[in-house]
């Protein structure tokens, strides 16, 4: 499958990887939208959050737990945003589940 995030997870494509465990990888976004902008992904290919099934519930928890751990490591635990864009109309451009972990600026609500 020609998936750039699968390639990054398999170290077949370059990325600034800042965290890895058995099931997840995190790396810096190429086009950062905040002073800190990390993408947290499962190693397993899943198209999006909507494509997850019962079998992925534990993995989804692990991604969130990994995100909190990364935030602690980067000293941004006091203020960060964790978000996934699900579907093209919601802004998803890469069809491999990923969470944007962003910090270092003020975030508006509702988001744009
Ligand atoms: P989304 O638009 O929610 O699907 O987010 C995809 C994100 O992946 C965007 O913020 C892109 O800047 C980022 N991105 C795409 N390709 C790469 C890459 N090779 N390395 C790092 N970030 C990437």
Neighbours of 58 (CB within 10 A): 9
Domains of the chain: residue spans and CATH: 4-103 (3.30.428.10)
Ligand 1 center to 38 CA (angstroms):
10
Integer angstrom CA distances of residue 20 from 23, 28, 33, 66, 67: 8, 13, 22, 9, 11
State how far the Cα of 91 lies from the Cα of 93, in Å rounded to an integer: 6
Place of tokens 């945003």: 81
Q: What is the pLDDT of residues 44-76, one digit of tens each?
A: 999 999 999 999 999 999 999 999 999 999 999
Ligand 1 near 29 CB (within 6 A): yes
- pLDDT tens across 10-55, in order? 999 999 999 999 999 999 999 999 999 999 999 999 999 999 999 9
**Residue 112 has what pLDDT?**
78
Among candidates 14, 43, 26, which has minimal Cα distance to 100? 26
- Which residue among 94, 100, 101 has the greatest number of ligand 1 atoms within 8 angstroms of its CB, and so is best to mutate? 94
Predicted model pTM = 0.98
């Amino acid at each position: 499958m020609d998936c750039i995030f699968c390639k990054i997870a398999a170290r077949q494509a370059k990325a600034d990887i800042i965290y890895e465990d058995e099931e997840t990888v995190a790396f810096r976004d190429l086009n950062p939208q905040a002073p800190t902008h990390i993408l947290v992904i499962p190693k397993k290919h899943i198209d999006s959050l909507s494509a997850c099934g019962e079998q992925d519930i534990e993995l989804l928890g692990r991604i969130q737990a990994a995100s909190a751990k990364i935030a602690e490591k980067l000293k941004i635990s006091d203020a960060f945003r964790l978000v996934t864009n699900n579907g093209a109309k919601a802004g998803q451009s890469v069809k491999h589940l990923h969470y944007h972990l962003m910090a270092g600026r003020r975030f508006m609500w509702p988001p744009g």
